[in-house]
Amino acid sequence: METFAEILKITLPALIVFLTAWIIIRNMIRNDQEKRRQEVILQGNRNITPIKLQAYERIVLFLERISLESLLMRVSTPDMTAAQLQSALLTAIRSEFEHNLSQQIYMSPQAWEVVRNARSNTIKMINNEAERIKGDAPGIELSRLLLGKVMEIEHEPTRTAIDFIKGEVGRMI
């Protein structure tokens, strides 16, 4: 019995020291793993944030390019008919959109939906105004109608989308 008590006197403190060391080392390893995980996340954010900002910049440029004033300045020529101008405007919008389609990967779903709505509403506006005049009318008439419509509405669809994008970028930075 005395031998058992002697073994217990040695074993019990050793066991307590072992458990204490094991708990401390386990906590240190967990903390180190958590620290490394946070570093990986931070590094990922450092790499992806500039790419996201570039995507938002490109989308704002796209929206500026498909605004009706900008489109009319770029696309219209004096000898165009209204039907030719309508076709040229829609082609330019589709081309710009296709060129920037991949940017949706870096944008929030809400922001991308706002961009798509701006494009759709701009196309709808062009088509609605083109229906009001004959296809063989001079393109300048369609231009006047479109610019009049832009002046009439409170916010052009592209302007609304740009404001949304700016707000989202502001929250991101």
Residue with tokens 């996340």: 41
Write down the pLDDT at residue 110.
96
Can you give the pTM of this predicted structure? 0.77
Q: Which long-range contacts (CB under 8 A, 24 or more apart) does 70-74 make?
A: 72/143, 72/146, 72/147
Q: For residue range 115-150, list pLDDT tens digits in order.
A: 999 999 999 999 999 999 988 999 999 999 999 999
Q: For residue range 4-59, list pLDDT tens digits in order.
A: 888 888 888 989 999 999 999 999 999 999 999 998 878 877 778 889 999 999 99
Q: Please state the domain extents for the chain.
A: 49-172
Q: For residue range 80-104, list pLDDT tens digits in order.
A: 999 999 999 999 999 999 999 999 9
